[in-house]
Amino acid sequence: MAELLPVFTACSTCPIRHRAVCASCDAEELDALNGIKYYKTYSAGQNIALRGDALDMVASIVAGTASLERVTEDGRVQMVGLLLPSDFIGRPGRSGLQYDVMAASDVTLCCFHRKPFEEMLDNTPHLRERLLEMAMDELDAARDWMLLLGRKTAREKITSFIDLIVRRSYHPAEAKLDQPMKIELPISREAMANFLGLTIETVSRQITALKRDGLIQIEGKRSVTIPDIYDLRAETGDDEEDVG
Amino acid sequence: MAELLPVFTACSTCPIRHRAVCASCDAEELDALNGIKYYKTYSAGQNIALRGDALDMVASIVAGTASLERVTEDGRVQMVGLLLPSDFIGRPGRSGLQYDVMAASDVTLCCFHRKPFEEMLDNTPHLRERLLEMAMDELDAARDWMLLLGRKTAREKITSFIDLIVRRSYHPAEAKLDQPMKIELPISREAMANFLGLTIETVSRQITALKRDGLIQIEGKRSVTIPDIYDLRAETGDDEEDVG
DNA sequence: CGACCTATTGATACGTATCAACCCGAGTGG
DNA sequence: CCACTCGGGTTGATACGTATCAATAGGTCG
């Protein structure tokens, strides 16, 4: 099931080197991190850790997609975090997990045992600085997401999600917004439903409707082409104002 | 409208001294902060800053309640942050606001101009450490909130909100959970609706229903007595597991 | 080929939104 | 001191969007 994933040994060749928690570390700091890291892989569907567990590591996602999920007493599931490569798992200073961490696809993690990582945090201002930056970015993203969950229609939710994946798939500099764009949905319909606070049936129906309306084309189940990203964004319900 | 609020001049007598961003500062660091702080008040309903504005300060809430809000293009409003005393406003390293900041009641802020505060961050490890801690706490809270917005029923949303206010109103140590508890709702019905992703009418109806069911008693509009907090919590939809 | 999993499509139910009327207390002005 | 207005809140009737229940389709693997 899990295809063999390459093992990266040198941080300098790491694909997430410039976006992850180590992004602003200098060569010396990187050396120190390099000494305590280890890689770990999970296959799609596996849970990486469960709510209430003591997780004695923190990690960066090197490849694949993980999700954070919360569940009601009677089993309704809400995704509360979508973690793509370079995103960070775990909370320094606290080992008790607040949510389930799931591998949405095959996932490779660059892990650090909690203790040595926390010690490094104390000695490495760059590291804590970058972690704060990332936490605040996630907080902003979480707030966008709350608007989506609380106030958007099913159609707006789907278009917003596709736009989110577009934005994470293209570097802003190299994106050609006036040409058709193509993305791979990183998660299944069920995971999308859990992300968006919908049922799988509603997700499916809305995707069909967007296809019918010519806003997207679908090849297979996961591959989406957006003929005009502006047309799609006009359906997200978002204020146009370009912030951030 | 805005009653006169006391002006605090010494950090040592500040009511939020031990919970705010300055909580883990020592006397010397506090002195430095004290030198650059200034107080500012807003009256209920005023907006403190709007999305897209450049906010050249950061601040702690000393008294009152503020909210962060996001709005769709056609005016639907979702609250994305509920800021109570000791909570922090603003983002070091970025002046462009991602959301509107509103005074939900009369509010007193302890403000710092952005530049000197950011300089202090660089020289004061305790400060950045505490800020990271607070950002991660808010992230956890935001994720609970996402479960609420995405998957909970109206009744569960209301009971969850009341429980949230209970938890913020009583220090865990001094709370007597087996006795009736009394709180003041810090925000209007409309603000509750925007917090919970509901309409004001639904909020009103659910409160009436909880009253009818004997789970709460209401005096006036804002004062709520909870005869049995466990009964109320049984209605929140939350997994009982005590985490965090 | 059959079993299984994911996704799609259809019919209906239900929860919350919407539209509308009304209530209540506080301010305001005659 | 009463009539009026205004904002916030409650209650009622109905509409509508999404959930639910159910059947079917398509792809993959044994």
CA of B50 to nearest chain A CA: how many angstroms apart?
12
The whole-angstrom distance between A231's CA and the closest CA on chain B is: 15
**How, if at all, do strands A217-219 and A100-103 pair?**
unpaired
Q: Select from B98, B90, B226, B71 the least CA-distant residue to B164.
A: B226
Per DSSP, which regions of chain A are E strands?
37-42, 47-49, 57-63, 66-71, 77-83, 88-89, 100-103, 107-113, 181-184, 217-219, 223-226
Identify which has the larger pLDDT, B8 or B150: B150
User: B151: which nucleotide lies closest, measuring CA to C1'?
Assistant: D19
pTM across the whole model? 0.95
How many cross-chain Cβ pairs, A to B, lie less than 8 Å apart? Answer: 144
pLDDT score of B30: 93
**Which of A136, A159, A161 to mutate to test binding with chain B, by most B CBs within 10 Å of its CB?**
A136
Q: What is the mean pLDDT of residues B136-145?
A: 98
CA distance B72 to B81: 16
Q: What is the pLDDT of residue B244?
A: 60
pLDDT of amino acid B8: 55
Widest CA span of chain B, in angstroms? 56
pLDDT in tens, A155-176: 999 999 999 999 999 988 888 9
A76 closest CB neighbour out of B91, B151, B196: B151
Q: Does B98 touch chain A (CB under 8 A)?
A: yes
Better-scored residue on pLDDT, A106 or A8: A106
With beta carbons less than 8 A apart as the criterion, state whether A119 and A80 touch.
no
Is residue B214 classed exposed, middle or buried when 0-12, 13-18 and 19+ CB atoms within 10 A define those classes? exposed
Q: Which of A25-34, A185-194, A197-206 has the lowest mean pLDDT?
A: A25-34
Question: Which whole number is the average pLDDT over B40-50?
Answer: 94
What average pLDDT does the structure give for chain A?
94
Which nucleotide's C1' sits nearest to the alpha carbon of B187? D8
Could you tell me if A59 lies within 8 Å of chain B, comparing CB atoms?
no
Q: What is the pLDDT of residue B165?
A: 97
Identify which of A6, A114, A11, A95 has the alpha carbon closest to the alpha carbon of residue A49: A95
Q: Which of A191, A20, A168 is nearest to A103 (CA)?
A: A191
pLDDT of residue A65: 97
Q: What integer pLDDT is reported at residue A8 of this predicted model? A: 55
User: Can you tell me whether residue A67 is helix, strand or coil?
Assistant: strand
Of the candidate CATH numbers 2.160.20.10, 1.20.140.90, 3.40.50.300, 2.60.120.10, the domain formed by B11-146 belongs to 2.60.120.10
Mutation target for A interface from B21, B87, B143: give the one with most A CBs within 10 A. Answer: B143
Give the whole-number percent of chain B exceeding pLDDT 90.
90
Chain B window 1-40: which residues touch A at a Cβ cutoff of 8 Å? none
> For residue B1, what pLDDT band results from cuts at 50, 70 and 90?
very low
* pLDDT over 70, % of chain A: 96
The topology (CATH level 3) of B152-233 is Arc Repressor Mutant, subunit A (1.10.10)
Instruction: Sketch the domain layout of chain B as residue ranges.
Output: 11-146, 152-233
pLDDT per residue as tens digits for the range B86-98: 999 999 999 999 9
Judged against a pLDDT cut of 90, whether residue B68 lies above it is answered with: yes
| Residue B171 binned pLDDT confidence (cut-offs 50, 70, 90) | confident
Above 80 in pLDDT, residue A244? Answer: no
pLDDT digits (tens, 9 = 90+) for A104-123: 999 999 999 999 999 999 99
The residue with tokens 């606001």 is B97
Instruction: Assign A7 a pLDDT band (cuts: 50, 70, 90).
Output: low
Closest nucleotide (C1' vs CA) to A199 is D19
Classify B2 as helix, strand or coil: coil
Same-fold call for A11-146 versus A152-233: no
Question: Measured between beta carbons, which residues in chain A are less than 8 angstroms from residue B94?
Answer: 136, 244
Residue B242 has pLDDT above 90, yes or no: no
Asked if the model's pLDDT at residue A2 lies above 70, the reply is no
